[in-house]
Amino acid sequence: MVCLNGQAVTVTSLHPRLCQRLLVSPRKSVTTLPQLHLGVLGDLRAVGRVRRSCRLEGAPRLHARQQRLGGGRSRPASGRLVRIPHVPIRRSNQPPEPVFSRVLVELNQDHDTRKHLYVELERLFGRPVVSFFTSFRFPVMIEDNDADMLQGVLQKLDLMRGLVLIINSPGGYGLAAERIINVCKSYSGTGEFWAVVPGKAKSAATMVCFGASKIFMAPASELGPIDPQMSRREGKRHLRLSLYSVVASYQKLFKEAVRSKGNLEPYLQQLGNYDAREIEEFRTALALATDIAVRSLAAGMMKGASEKTIRKRIAMFLTPVQTKSHGRPIGMDRAGECKLVIEKMDVRGELWQCLYELYVRTSHHVSNRVSKCIESGAHSFAVGAPDHQHDEDEE
């Protein structure tokens, strides 16, 4: 209770600690509202409501030990007894969502749990933000349909300031990656886009990054080789082979057979395991991946450089000769050595903290409930996980 112009005023809906700050010493005059510390006034405006409860006749002096928080009776120095009503704290006019509902939203990682992150990221980047995540758990790949879903999101955005594409994927088809690059550039008001890699952008996802004007990476972010892969079953074994390695082994065996002057039977038996038509298809696939990468870089990050120069710079990405494995990560430092335009993110900075939360939430989403997710702050498109596959749906 405080005194305002000779009248007692009850401060309600305040935290008990705030009420204690308003208690008056018995040796001092009653505190009036204009005399309160600015911090207390700020608290009053933020969480409290001042309500006139009654009038007191006589001296307006109160003693701290006579005031009781949360109800009871208080006797002023003169005047009648006044009951101070107990008012429960109300944090909001709207009733809170049931706990069970809030837990389900967090468990499913619905779009609502990420909307505020897009708003913050757009503020930090200075341009609209769209994310493209595919699952590392379910057997899905970047496909042509993903470009259609991406267009469904982009056509709803104002992209005059450009576009930021956050990508996290194990890869897919090179032609689909090229189409995604074209879609991003076509819709962007600046004719280019930025790629952001919070986790892993491997294989065809790395090719998408090659089409950007620059790539944002953190110390733990990963790109990877873009040489095409092939899956094959041999008996009970499931093999995943690099097309580059298959073609290289065939060429090596064929050259050894030509140079041999002795018995050719061992070479002929081994060459019989290869199909010359498949080898030619593999060569075409390798050439296509290289062509997409070189053309994308020549139109963006390495504009003005010759094709030969670009191929030399990104040799680490084109074959597994240096990396030794298709899955081996290529971090931001090694990517920078290849003359890619890399924007390094500070893991202690505000941008990374917000981006990392989005990465964790969306990665969980595409590892449990769905297999793919393309979304902005306003719209979200997803493809159901294989065990409960649904048609593409808008959340």
Cβ-based neighbours of 36, under 8 Å, separated by 6 or more: 2, 22, 44
The arithmetic mean of pLDDT across residues 54-63, rounded, is 39
Asked if residue 288 is part of any domain, the answer here is no
- Does 280 score more than 60 pLDDT? yes
186 and 129 share a domain? yes
- Does 319 score more than 50 pLDDT? yes
SS3 4: strand
Query: Between 113 and 95, whose confidence is greater?
Result: 113
Q: Beta partners for 3?
A: 8, 32
pLDDT of amino acid 372: 96
Residues 351-364 have pLDDT tens digits of 999 999 999 999 99
Question: What range defines the domain where residue 79 resides?
Answer: 2-83
Rounded to 5°, angle at Cα 201 from 197 and 204: 135
Residues 160-200 have pLDDT tens digits of 999 999 999 999 999 999 999 999 999 999 999 999 999 99
Q: Whole-angstrom Cα distance, residue 58 to residue 333?
A: 78
Residues 120-146 have pLDDT tens digits of 999 999 999 999 999 999 999 999 999
175 and 200 share a domain? yes
Of 83, 101, 122, the position where a domain reaches its end is: 83
What is the rounded average pLDDT for all residues in the chain? 80
Highest mean pLDDT among 15-19, 37-41, 55-59: 15-19
Asked if residue 301 is part of any domain, the answer here is no
239 and 204 share a domain? no
The arithmetic mean of pLDDT across residues 325-354, rounded, is 96
93: confidence class by pLDDT, cuts 50, 70, 90: low
